[in-house]
Structure 1
Amino acid sequence: MIDTRRAGVGDAAEVLRLRSVMLDAMRPGADDPQTWIGPGVAVVRRLLDAENDALAAFVVDKPDGPGLAACVVGTVDQRLPGPRDPSGLRGYVLNVATDPAYRRRGYSRACMTALLDWYTRRGITAIDLRASAEGEPLYASLGFVRNQEPGMRLVIPAR
């Protein structure tokens, strides 16, 4: 059995380190993590505060030393209710990452299962994520399916 736990404020830097691993796997060499990890730690600490119920991160500690082997981060978004979603609550999985040295051990699955349990306890029935080709088999095995909704995004340059 793999022990997962909910991440706390002390895990912020490691959660961001693993986020950089995930982002680099999706777009190798596109970003320098040193430009955003340092400033981001304070943001992630605030988000991981135990009283924040709009975000949760579940982690697996490295079995052979300090740090995290894997993490999953998910948010809850309040939208307007609709016929298929009467509460309007949606889950979004925004970060799934395993340190390369600890892959293929079931750590991401264990973290995802903990996050899905958290969503279920909150009554959330719709959960979205974006899957890399490498991650898609895991998500499919957990019941995720590709949707047909077209997506668009506008990026407004910072001033």
Structure 2
Amino acid sequence: MIEARRAGPADATELMRLRKVMLDSMRDRPSPDGEWQDVGRAILQRQLADPAGTLAAFVVDRPEASGLAACVVGAVDQRLPNPSDPTGLRGYVYSVATDPAYRRRGYSRACMTALIAWYAHRGIRAVDLRASRDGEPLYASLGFRRTDDPAMRLIVSPPA
């Protein structure tokens, strides 16, 4: 059985490396390196230092080397409640990534299963994510379903 462990601040660099692996797998060309990685590392180091916080990451270590083979990062979002969601608490999965050398071994499943258990322990009833074509079978096997809600996005420009 594959064991996923809860990530800590020391895992931030590897978590950002795997986030780039995930982003690159969904695009035609690699994501550029840059300040976004440093900002992400700082956010992860700060938020993963608080075990009672609203962000968690679960990882599988590389079996024969240092570093991570796979990870998932998720957070709790407080929204306004409604009749079907009386607490307004939602989970959101930000990153699910497996290093290409370690794919098809169940590592992402182990990480996702640990994150879902973390959400359940916190009383989260709904968890959202955006699925790539490659990831959708895994998420469907864990109980995720496509929603009818249309997604829209606005990119806000900074004031001039």
Amino acid of the structure 2 residue aligned with 1:100: P
| In 2: Cα distance, 1:5 partner to 1:30 partner | 28
Matched residue, 1:31: 31
Is there any run of 5+ residues in structure 1 with no aligned partner, and where? none
Matched residue, 1:147: 147
Shift of residue 35, structure 1, vs aligned partner: 4.2
What are the within-5 Å matches in structure 2 for residues 83-98 of structure 1? 83-98=83-98
1:76 partner SS? strand
RMSD between superposed Cα atoms in Å: 1.3
Aligned length: 159
What are the within-5 Å matches in structure 2 for residues 47-126 of structure 1? 47-126=47-126
Matched residue, 1:137: 137
2:75 partner SS? strand
CA shift in 2, pair 1:78/1:15, >3 Å: same
| In 1: Cα distance, 2:117 partner to 2:26 partner | 27
| In 2: Cα distance, 1:79 partner to 1:33 partner | 33
Q: TM-score, normalised by structure 1?
A: 0.95
1:41 partner SS? helix
Is there any run of 5+ residues in structure 2 with no aligned partner, and where? none
Amino acid of the structure 2 residue aligned with 1:115: L
CA-to-partner distance for each residue in 1:112-146, whole Å, 9 max, x for gaps?
Answer: 00000000001111010000000000000000000
Q: Percent of aligned pairs with the same residue?
A: 63
CA shift in 2, pair 1:100/1:158, >3 Å: farther
| In 2: Cα distance, 1:51 partner to 1:121 partner | 13
Shift of residue 29, structure 1, vs aligned partner: 1.7
Amino acid of the structure 2 residue aligned with 1:55: L
Shift of residue 158, structure 1, vs aligned partner: 4.5
Amino acid of the structure 1 residue aligned with 2:141: S
Q: Post-superposition, which runs of at least 4 consecutive aligned residues in structure 1 deviate over 6 A?
A: none
Matched residue, 1:44: 44
CA shift in 2, pair 1:8/1:88, >3 Å: same
Q: TM-score, normalised by structure 2?
A: 0.94
